[in-house]
Amino acid sequence: MMPVKLKDILELPECRTLVSAAPDREVTKIFCCDLLSIAMSKAPAGCVWVTVMGNRNTLAVASLADAACIVLAEGVSLDEGTLAKAGEEGIAVLSTELPVFDIALEIHEAGGL
Amino acid sequence: MGEPLIYTYDIDGEDFTRAGEASSSVKNRLKMLGVDSAAIRKTAIAMYEGEINMVIHADGGTITVIISDDAITMVLADRGPGIPDIEKAMQEGYSTARPEVRSLGFGAGMGLPNMKRFTDEMKIDTVIGQGTTITMKVYLHSDGL
C-alpha cells in the first residue's frame, strides 16, 4: 500500500486548513483523544491527532509527541498566536464541523490509515 | 562529549498556557545534540508533565536539566504546598487539580504516573508547606551522544 502523506489529508473537503505544513510528511496513524496527559503518552509519532481540545497546550502536546497534524473537530479552532506557532513547528492544523468519529472515519477511508 | 551541559529554566506559575516552553526548548537542544529520538521523547514528556504540575500546584519553580554522556537528569524544584500522600499521588486517576485545569485537558491524575513511566529513575523529596523536588533520569546508551 502507498504510504499516506499529509497532503492527502489536507485535501479532504470536510476540512478547513488552518496551518499547512510539511505536506510531504508521511503520516502513520489516526489518534483520537481529548485528555492531554493521555494524548501525550499515547499519541504515536507522525499521527493525525483528532481532538476537540483547542488551546495552546494542544499544540505543546502535539509537538512533544511529534504528531504530524492536529484535526480540530466540532468546529473548534485555535487562536492566531497558537496557529502561527504551529506553522513554526511544522505541525499542520485542520478544522472541521464534523464530530470526532466522523472525521476520523473520513480520514481512514481517504488514506487507508 | 566531555563536561555535562547544564540548563536552568524558571517556570512561570501564573501562565498556564506557557507551560511546555521549557520542555520544548530542551527537546530542541537534545535534537541538535543528536540524542536518540526515544530518549528525547521520554525526556520531553516527563518534563512537560512536571512543568504542568508545577504550574497547577506550586505556582511555578525551577527546572535544571543536566545532559551528560550517560543520562539526562531533570531536577524540578518548587516552593509549593508539598505532596501529603505520595503513594496516592502516584496512582493513575488521582488528582487534586482545580476544575478549570481539568477543562483544559489536564488534571486527569496522569502526571506523576507518566513521569515515572517515561523515566528510568525518579525520586520525590517533599516537605509539607515548603515544597517538592523531583529528580528524574533518562539513561542514554553509550553511543547516544
Please write the tens of the pLDDT for every residue from A18-36.
999 889 999 999 999 999 9
**∠ at Cα A105 (A102, A108), nearest 5°?**
155
Residue-wise pLDDT tens digits, B27-41: 999 999 999 988 999
Strand partners, B53: none
> Is residue A73 within 8 Å of A53, Cβ to Cβ?
no
**ipTM of this predicted structure:** 0.77
Query: Is 60 exceeded by the pLDDT of residue B144?
Result: no
Do the beta carbons of residue B80 and residue B37 sit within 8 Å? no
What's the pLDDT at A1? 65
What b-and-e string marks burial along B78-102, b requiring 16 or more CB atoms within 10 Å of the CB?
Answer: bbbbbbeeeeebbeeeebebeeebe
More confident residue, B42 or B143: B42
A64 interaction partners in chain B (CB closer than 8 Å): 20, 23-24, 27, 41, 44-45, 48
Q: Whole-angstrom Cα distance, residue B103 to residue B58? A: 19
Question: What SS3 class is residue A109?
Answer: helix
Q: Which residue in chain B is spatially nearest to A38 when comparing CA positions?
A: B110
Q: Predicted confidence band at B145 (pLDDT cuts at 50, 70, 90)?
A: very low
* B128/A2: higher pLDDT: B128
Q: Are A62 and A49 in contact (CB under 8 A)?
A: yes
Q: Does B9 touch chain A (CB under 8 A)?
A: no
The shares of helix, strand and coil residues in chain B, as percent rounded to the nearest 5, are 35, 30, 35
Kindly state whether B56 is in contact with chain A, defined as any CB-CB distance less than 8 angstroms: no
Show the domains of chain A with their CATH numbers.
6-111 (3.40.1390.20)
Q: What nine digits make up the cell of B109?
A: 491524575
Percent of chain B with pLDDT over 90: 77
Percent above pLDDT 70 for chain B? 97
CB B140 within 8 A of CB B39: yes
The CATH class of B5-139 is alpha beta
What would the pLDDT profile of B68-110 be if each residue is shown by its tens digit?
999 999 999 999 999 999 999 999 999 999 998 888 888 889 9
Q: What pLDDT sits at residue B2?
A: 77
**Cβ atoms B132, B111 nearer than 8 A:** no
Cα distances (Å, whole numbers) of residue B39 to A42, B30, B46, B118: 15, 9, 11, 9
Give the closest of A38, A53, A57 to B17, CB-based.
A57
Read off the pLDDT of each residue in A63-87 and give the average, rounded to a whole number: 94
Give A-chain residues touching B26 at CB under 8 angstroms.
none
Question: DSSP letter string over A30-46?
Answer: EEE---HHHHHHHPPTT
Does the pLDDT of residue A81 top 60, yes or no?
yes
